[in-house]
Structure 1
Amino acid sequence: MVLPASFELNNGHKIPAVGLGTFQGTEGNAKVKDDVRLALTLGYRHIDGANAYGNEKQIGEAIEESGIPRDQLFVTSKLYTWHDPADVEGALDASLKDLQLNYVDLYLMHFPHAYKAGERNETIRHPSGNGKPVIDYDLSRRYPETWQAMERLVDLGKARSIGLSNFNILKTKRILEKARIVPAVNQVEIHPHWVAGRFPQSGHMQMCHFQRKIQDQLSLHGAIRFLDPSQHIGFDIFDEENDQPVGSSAPWD
């Protein structure tokens, strides 16, 4: 089977079949600029980033220095802490400033759950010192409202396409019930351990295929650096109906 160069999204825009993920860049993002610049030289045209990765300035510098025309690139960014509908446009504006762009090709809601934001919209960390973000449970139930704010970004021309990331079946259905603009993408992590292990994704993929309203982009690239299973951290497990934490996973490898 030959992989096509691109896939057509449900709004007619095309997304390159292969992209460079910039999560967990080497040496605290110090080499992200070099990595992105090299990828562009080698022919990559889709760069997948996020505000949460803390390296959009480096990505923007690499894109600017590449000299590649904007219409030949596909740039993805993601909404993180700013789930209050009033803050969504400002969140994208901050990413656009760092990326040195007027628009992104794809803007994703990074997670359905929201984190508490500080005065400068930085993520507040748990006072216990465990490094985990503090969850905003009110906003975590209101992600359909956050989606409606993201729809306005398309109207304003700041995002060509919008989509989801890390959404399960229940939460995807809730978005579809309220959506004026149907998500073009639900970006999920896919690799053998994830599919065959404790967190199978097959049901989710079947749901998105069955809907025929939403197209899935599979995040096949992983992080820039090689994944080190010993570095994975635990995460909260949620009651899907009530969006309440019911426990915490142990680190898995």
Structure 2
Amino acid sequence: MASTPTLALNDGRSIPQVGYGCWQIAEDQAPALVTQAIKAGYRLIDTAAAYGNEAGVGRGIREAGVPREEIFLTTKLWNDRQGPEAAKAFEESRKKLGLDYVDLYLIHWPCPQRRLFVQTWKAMIALRDEGKIKSIGVSNFTDEHLATLIGETGVTPSVNQIELHPSFQRRQARASNAARGIVTEAWSPLGQGKLNDPVIAAVAKAHGKSPAQVVLRWHTQIGDVAIPKTSNPQRILENISIFDFTLSDDEMKRIEALDDPNGRIGPDPATFC
């Protein structure tokens, strides 16, 4: 079983640096896959209300046979529940998960047009203070959104989960998060399977590793959290088996050169809702 290092959060807690992402995992598949991931060594499990699999994910956590306090479970508030609905939406997620608390709750998208993310954040602060959530954070927030959130409430998110992969490296966003003491967490850390770049292939060959392992190792060495998703049992194990090699400075620079300002795969947080 693999073990993963952790990163310190600004609220005194810590988060595993590699987790199991549950996006596009069917509800009926989730229990077995989550249990397998935990048995392989994953301690961070990431889901969301919008994924439609919270009940299956919670069941997988309960059936894995690992003490609850060893698992770091993240879920997210969907856009149409921001504002007055936030506390109710969280309780619905918690009940589906079948857990007493959630380790990290995120605002899934800022939806700036709705102008509700500050009100939502205040509700999440209250839930944290009640002990129902251990840590609170955001997803897909830009520097502008973060400045508004912190300026209005005085409470800084512990995590900002954003699209981040070798073709879209988000250096400015990572620097902005770091300056505020916010951990950057990468969704679609493998670029949704775009691993056929010859640079990554060459680095993988040099280390006797897969391209995915090289990309995930790159994530850990730049200091972010990565949550790769796979339903392949072999890749579940492969994706966490990345701590027995190190990328050289030259290899890191070669991967850094793959950055593309137009490499975004997902929606633009400034407009998506």
Of 131, 138, 146, 1:164 maps to 138
Displaced runs of 4 or more, over 4 A: 232-235
Paired residues for 1:1-253 under 5 Å: 5-25=5-25, 28-113=26-111, 137=113, 140-195=114-169, 201-211=170-180, 213-219=181-187, 220-225=226-231, 235=267, 240=270
Going from structure 1 to structure 2, the CA distance change for 1:244 and 1:218 (only over 3 Å counts) comes to closer
Identity %: 35
Deviations 1:116-145 (A, max 9, x none): xxxxxxxxxxxxxxxxxxxxx4xx223111
Q: Judge conservation of contact 1:23–1:222 (CA < 8 Å) in 2.
A: no
Whether contact under 8 Å (2:24, 2:51) holds in the other structure is yes
Gap regions ≥5 residues in structure 1 = 115-136, 196-200, 227-231, 246-253
Measure the CA separation in 2 of the matches of 1:62 and 1:112: 29
Q: 1:110 touches 1:166 (CA, 8 Å); kept in 2?
A: yes
Relative distance call for 1:30 and 1:210 in structure 2 (3 A) is: same
Structure 1 residues 86, 8: closer, same or farther in 2, change over 3 A?
Answer: same
Deviation at 1:107, TM superposition (A): 0.3
Q: Offset at 1:29?
A: 4.1
Q: How many Å separate the matches in 1 of 2:91 and 2:128?
A: 13
With the length of structure 2 as denominator, give the TM-score of the two structures. 0.67
Gap change, CA 1:45 and 1:90, over 3 Å in 2:
same
d(CA) in 1 for partners of 2:80 and 2:99? 20
Alignment RMSD (CA, Å): 2.5
More relative contact order, 1 or 2 (CA 8 Å, 6+ apart): 2
* C-alpha displacement of 1:194: 2.2
| 1:29-48 deviations in Å (ceiling 9; x for gaps) | 43222111100111111101
Indicate conservation of the 8 Å contact 1:83/1:143, yes or no.
no
Decide whether aligned partners of structure 1 residues 154 and 82 sit closer, same or farther in structure 2, where only a CA change above 3 A counts: farther
Change (3 A) 1:222 1:39: closer
Partner Cα distance (2:107, 2:266) in 1: 21
Which digits, 9 at most, give the CA deviation of each residue in 1:74-125, with x for residues without a partner?
Answer: 10010103444321111111111111111101000000018xxxxxxxxxxx
Instruction: Answer whether contact 2:83 2:117 (CA < 8 A) is retained.
Output: no
Task: Read off the aligned partner of 1:214 and give its amino acid letter.
Answer: I
Whether contact under 8 Å (1:37, 1:66) holds in the other structure is yes
Q: Is the 8 A contact 1:151 1:180 kept in 2?
A: no
| In 1: Cα distance, 2:272 partner to 2:97 partner | 35
Cα separation, 2, equivalents of 1:40 and 1:214: 26
Distance 1:47 1:41 in 2: 12
Q: Tell me the amino acid that sits aligned with residue 99 of structure 1.
A: L
TM-score normalised per structure 1: 0.72
Match of 1:133 in 2: none
- Say which structure is richer in helix: 2
Shift of 1:10: 0.4
Q: Retained in 1: the 8 A contact 2:4–2:41?
A: no
